[in-house]
Structure 1
Amino acid sequence: MEKPMPFQSLQFQNLQKIGEGTFGEVYTTGENVIKIIPIEGEILVNGERQKSFKEIKKEILITKELSELRERIFNRCETFVKSLGFKIVCGKYPIELLREWDRFETSKGSENDRPDFLPDDQLFIIFEFENSGVALESVEIESVAQGVSIVKQVCCALAVAEKALQFEHRDLHWGNVLVRASVEDTIIFRLDGRDVSVRSQGVEVKIIDFTLSRITKDNKTIYIDLKNDVSLFAGQGDSQFDIYREMKKKNKNDWAAFSPFSNILWAHYICQKIFEAKLQAGLDEIRDFYKKVLSYKSCYRLM
């Protein structure tokens, strides 16, 4: 682990909190997004143990590899969020960020602990990404065609990453699919050396958050072992929790193995969310796709 910088030495002007997760807080400068996660400590954060740097390093490596797919030739796509790097910092949570935390809590509510309780020697990791849009769950979809484009972009990106890196996202709920306006008429993916085109219908998709993801790179598998994560498989109230249990069933609780059907499960889930929660009247128009997607073993085969 590299030597940490003082947390207070960083500049936090014009930052705005835009979201949160189990392990940390998310802020934006407008152009970029930063995710701040406490690590290595003994104190529970949001009811969960802090991740070690060894665990976080896996997410860093996976994020980097997926970001770099935009630079490949044979299997290429730009759908995975562009990584701008990371820093390790140490110190008390800055007052500027606490003010933003309070503003967010007042306006939208928060399920997280206010991070002022963390000690003066707390370590944090800060991820920085390109600002890539709004979570799908908060997007107003304008047409059935636009909804179809979102599903196709997700499937194409997963297919490219499966082929290039034996990738499984493993947590692709609709908070991890971002949508922003596109000036391009067509989104181009390169799969096995051939171009695959998707009509944008005015939107571009970006996929984020690889905390639970899995890849194989240079014959080395990078993954998080979820075998004993009781809470992940106990959730109720949304179909995403059923998918965690279905993944476990399909891979027989072997999280090192490449089981790309997990991506199919998430693609089916995204399709369901769009056409039931967003476009109920349009579900009939793609019912064939909705039904057939689960008959494929991977998104690569779906293409």
Structure 2
Amino acid sequence: MEQNHIDHDLPSILERWKISKLARRQSSEPLFDIMETPILPSVLSSSSTSNSFFNSSYRTPEKDRGSGTHPTGMAIPPEYTDNSLKRTAEETSIITSFGKLNIKKKTIEASIPWSGEALTAFQQLLMVCRQSAPVTLAEVFSSYCVKKLGEGTYGEAYRAGRTVCKVVPFDGDLLVNGETQKRSEEVLEEVLLSLTLNNLRSDRGDNEKEHSCDGFIETKDFRVCQGPYDPSLISAWEDYDAKRGSENDHPKDFTSEQCYIVFVLADGGTDLEGFAFVDYNEASSLLVQVTASLAVAESACEFEHRDLHWGNILLAQDETPDTNQATSFTLQGKRMHARTFGVNVSIIDFTLSRINTGDAILFLDLSADPALFQGKKGDKQAETYRRMKEITQECWEGSFPKTNVVWLIYLVDMVLQKMKSLNIGTKVDRELRSFKKRLASYESARDCLADPFFSDLLLDEGAQLSPMPPL
């Protein structure tokens, strides 16, 4: 799909979403709910008091859970919410809150006129996509040679032109790989989360952002589709199955009534599991880029990924690698550069993520899927899920940036595993293991970014890049 990103009027989208949420709550419909109190005791207690800079593949793991149901968001009932916190929430408008993220308030004409009344989640999805009705998958993909790249429990990823399209069925009765399909409400909330992270990008909105980074995959657009699975996608699916073996159900079983959401994403490259590092510099750059991105999103919107396994980190090498290349980010108003050594990192898949938009907290109640925490003992990924459970004490709506830290510890383990093939030597191995040990003492990715491990990888705005010290 050869296209630039589409500007979405996020404040207006969120305002419609909020009105619809309140209307559904008043009518007592048993739908997927979101906690609408932006300030929580857990948030307040975990906030840093320091004024310093640092202290102020496309496969998802659900495939191996076999739980039969997927996690849902939960709402804190009003009677359990402190009155002072409720007043704070009521006095903070959603548009004002998002103004802190410098969201571009550009009026976009929608295909469905809006009178200010509550809309269904499906209608809101159509409005986000500027559609008056669903289109077919053929209309989206017919102009492209499609190749399947990977799969997760709830969808498939295909390359179409220079973009990657994640196709996720929703609102249907057919089980997908043994799981209940996502509902419109859940899909809409993932769209909102993706748009929020999009607005952290340095090329969106005001250049003087308090927080910005390009480390999260760019979501270029969305499409709502309906109908049977397109023959070109089926062919690509079967080619993938023949070469690599698919664990997913064959998509030919979807009916003509089936709905899909298509996330049109930038092509971020190869996932960490399949990526081959050339040297240790590339591996260290991976660590600093991921840490910086998490630190920015933590500070901007209390973001926690909560599922940052090596299939959810993509790497792309520049065509002409240069050891002096760097990527920029802004944290608490301070512009910084991180060395890339010609490798650009993108974080993907926010299905399990938690984020505070300023007026609502989007999250998944992972306690609804106990199988997630029952992985093999000693497995690094499984142990990380269990560590998250200990940190949050299963209060999944709360702000616990330490969950980002445990995924960074996991990531160091994956780097150590991949470095074995490079014969990096005992000095580098000790450096990584020492870094991993220090990570355990930090409470957030922002804290981690101040670690001495990154001292030669980070530069202030205007500083000159100097050669890396010898290993």
Contact 2:317/2:343 (CA < 8 Å) preserved in 1?
yes
Contact 1:30 1:131 in 2 (8 A): no
Deviations 1:258-282 (A, max 9, x none): 1000000111111110112334744
Moved over 4 A (4+): none
Q: 1:37 to 1:197 in 2, by over 3 A?
A: same
Q: Deviations along 1:144-184, whole A, 9 cap, x unmatched?
A: 12111101110000000000010000100000000001357
- The Cα shift of 1:105 comes to 0.6
Q: Is the 8 A contact 1:144 1:279 kept in 2?
A: no
- Secondary structure in 2 aligned to 1:10? helix
Would you say the 8 A contact 1:276–1:283 is kept in 2?
no
**Matching residue's letter, 1:285:** E
Rounded to whole Å, the distance in 1 between the matches of 2:402 and 2:167 is 31
Mapped to 2, the partners of 1:47 and 1:34 lie a distance apart of 22
Q: What secondary structure sits across from 1:204 in the alignment? A: strand
Give the drift of 1:120: 1.5
Partner of 1:134: 270
Residues in 2 aligned to 1:63 and 1:51: alpha-carbon distance in whole angstroms: 16
Residue 365 (structure 2) pairs with residue 219 (structure 1) = no
Rounded to whole Å, the distance in 1 between the matches of 2:236 and 2:141 is 14
1:4 deviates by: 1.9
Instruction: Using the TM superposition, name which of 240-249 and 167-176 deviates more.
Output: 240-249
Q: TM-score, normalised by structure 1?
A: 0.96
- Aligned residues of 2:280 and 2:419 also touching (Cα < 8 A): no
Q: Does the alignment pair 1:299 with 2:445?
A: yes
Whole-angstrom CA distance in 2 between matches of 1:104 and 1:30: 17
SS of structure 2 residue aligned to 1:227: helix
Q: 2:243 aligns with which of 90, 104, 107?
A: 107
Letter in 1 for 2:136: P
Greater shift in the superposed pair: 145-154 or 3-12: 3-12
**Residue 9 of structure 1: CA displacement?**
2.8
Match of 1:208 in 2: 348
- The answer to whether residue 138 in structure 2 is matched with residue 5 in structure 1 is no
Determine helix, strand or coil for the equivalent of 1:77. Answer: coil
2:169 alignment partner, SS class? strand
Comparing 94-103 with 227-236, greater Cα deviation is found at 227-236
- 8 Å CA contact 1:187, 1:199 repeated in 2: yes
Could you say which structure has the larger radius of gyration? 2
Q: For residue 243 of structure 1, what is the aligned residue in structure 2?
A: 384
Amino acid at match of 1:69: L
Asked if residue 75 in structure 1 is aligned to residue 206 in structure 2, the reply is no
Between 276-285 and 71-80, the greater mean CA deviation after superposition: 276-285
CA distance in 2, matches of 1:103, 1:225: 36
Residue of structure 1 in register with 2:408 after alignment: 267
* Matching residue's letter, 2:139: S
Deviations 1:84-143 (A, max 9, x none): 111111100011110111101111111111100111111111100011111011011111
> Contact 1:40 / 1:53 at 8 angstroms: preserved in 2?
yes
**SS of alignment partner, residue 93 of structure 1:** coil
1:253 to 388, 394, 399: 394
| 15 and 270 in structure 1: CA distance in 2 versus 1, 3 angstrom threshold | same
**CA–CA distance in structure 2, aligned partners of residues 118 and 29 of structure 1:** 21
TM-score, with structure 2 as normaliser: 0.62
Aligned-pair CA distance for 1:25? 0.6
Greater shift after overlay, 9-18 or 106-115? Answer: 9-18
Q: For the residues of structure 1 that align with 2:419 and 2:172, how far apart are their CA atoms?
A: 41
2:146 and 2:159 in contact (8 A); partners too? yes
Given that 1:223 and 1:256 are in contact with CA atoms closer than 8 Å, whether structure 2 keeps it comes out as yes
Q: Is the 8 A contact 1:147 1:275 kept in 2?
A: no
Could you tell me the percent identity over the aligned residues? 35
